[in-house]
């Protein structure tokens, strides 16, 4: 995660909200919990071998879940101290879905693997991956078009070309594939990117619309970033994995898919997931559900008796 790297950019996601000393003190237990979880992840044997083994160490996802829960608790502790946040919506919820047209940025390999693990079992994942591929390519093209350097592939993330390309992408209003427009919610739920959990929007709907001429100048945005000590630990952990994933959400997810060879990222010692035709994950049958075959057989016997 590259929290705070783009603080001088114009997009709402890039505006860092100052966290007061009182808020930091109130959230200190959760800060320590985040550090502990990251230390646990760093100490897992084989954390630097993921690229070669194509598996994560045993306990990887449990440790990440502890970090994610601590991060959520930290946000809950900090929010009451931020003036104006009561009227804001978190990205991916309510009016915060306006943020779902601006591709999340600042997602490291460890988080990317956790998100991929949560989303890969979706029945329509093959279609989602295809959408992510198109959107990742479109944003890359928009950035490249604004690049003035000799090499079109060497573009700094903090360059003017990247800033303007990201803004142009947001204005085109490409809806995030994980946003459910009917429910008005992110399908990833609590597994959505940390930068989305931290990102809040407030203001009139017309001001939040990326297609309007005033966007993003009139957008009221809040980005609650964890303490620097946590950010540094997470960056160091990402480096230890030796995975050179893109910090852009969609591109990173496609790299995780490639690492998993189209399947599911497994922990060491975990049975491999089976793939169905079309690239779907063969999920385990829940024999306790009312539509299971064993119940259908019982219903059939009752009808024959009658």
The residues spanned by each domain of the chain are 12-305
**Residue 23: alpha-carbon gap to chain centroid:** 25
The pLDDT score that the predictor gives to residue 181 is: 84
**Contacting residues for 161 by C-beta, under 8 A, at least 6 apart:** 143, 144, 146, 147, 148, 155
Calculate the alpha carbon distances from 142 to 8, 145, 155, 256 in Å: 20, 5, 12, 23
Q: Give 10-residue mean pLDDT values along the chain (306 residues).
A: 45 91 96 97 94 94 96 96 90 88 92 96 94 95 84 74 90 93 90 94 87 88 94 95 94 95 89 65 51 52 55
**Count of CB atoms situated within 10 Å of the CB of 206:** 11
Spatial contact of 194 and 188, defined as CB atoms under 8 Å apart: no
Residues 6+ apart with CB under 8 A from 98: 201, 205, 208, 209, 210
Question: How far is Cα 118 from Cα 112, in angstroms, rounded to an integer?
Answer: 10
Residues 6+ apart with CB under 8 A from 210: 98, 101, 102, 170, 171, 173, 216
Q: Angle, to 10 degrees, between the axis of helix 228-241 and the axis of helix 109-119?
A: 80
Task: Give CA–CA dist 136/132, Å, rounded.
Answer: 6
Provide CB contacts within 8 A for 286, sequence distance 6+.
292
CA distance 170 to 276: 35
At 15 the three-state DSSP class reads coil
- DSSP-derived 3-state class of residue 202: strand
E strands present in the chain:
55-56, 89-90, 179-180, 185-186, 199-202, 220-223, 266-267
Q: Is the dihedral of CA 203, 208, 213, 216 positive or negative?
A: positive
The per-residue DSSP string of 70-124 comes to HHHHHHHHHGGGSTTGGG-EETTBGGGGGGGGS--B---HHHHHHHHHHHTTSTT
Cα–Cα distance measured from residue 256 to residue 264, given in angstroms and rounded to the nearest whole number: 9
């Amino acid at each position: 995660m590259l929290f705070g790297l783009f603080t001088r950019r114009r997009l709402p996601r890039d505006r860092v909200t100052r966290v007061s000393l009182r808020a930091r003190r109130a959230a200190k237990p959760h800060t320590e919990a985040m550090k502990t979880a990251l230390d646990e992840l760093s100490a897992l044997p084989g954390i630097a071998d993921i690229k070669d083994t194509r598996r994560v160490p045993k306990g990887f996802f449990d440790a990440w879940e502890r970090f994610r829960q601590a991060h959520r608790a930290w946000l809950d502790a900090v929010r009451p101290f931020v003036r104006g946040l009561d009227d804001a919506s978190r990205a991916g919820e309510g009016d915060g879905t306006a943020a779902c047209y601006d591709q999340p940025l600042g997602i490291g390999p460890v988080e990317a693997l956790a998100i991929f693990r949560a989303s890969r079992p979706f029945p329509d994942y093959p279609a989602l991956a295809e959408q992510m591929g198109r959107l990742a390519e479109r944003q890359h093209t928009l950035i490249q078009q604004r690049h003035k350097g000799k090499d079109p592939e060497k573009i700094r993330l903090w360059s003017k070309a990247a800033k303007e390309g990201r803004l142009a992408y947001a204005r085109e209003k490409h809806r995030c594939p994980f946003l459910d427009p009917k429910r008005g919610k992110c399908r990833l739920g609590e597994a959505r990117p940390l930068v989305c959990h931290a990102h809040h929007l407030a203001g009139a709907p017309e001001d939040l619309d990326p297609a309007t001429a005033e966007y993003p100048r009139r957008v009221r945005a809040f980005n609650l970033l964890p303490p620097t000590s946590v950010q540094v630990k997470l960056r160091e952990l990402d480096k230890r994995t030796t995975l050179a994933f893109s910090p852009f959400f969609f591109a990173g997810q496609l790299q995780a898919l490639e690492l998993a060879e189209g399947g599911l990222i497994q922990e060491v010692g975990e049975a491999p997931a089976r793939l169905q035709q079309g690239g779907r994950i063969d999920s385990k049958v829940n024999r306790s559900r009312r539509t299971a075959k064993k119940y259908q057989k019982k219903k059939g016997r009752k009808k024959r008796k009658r």
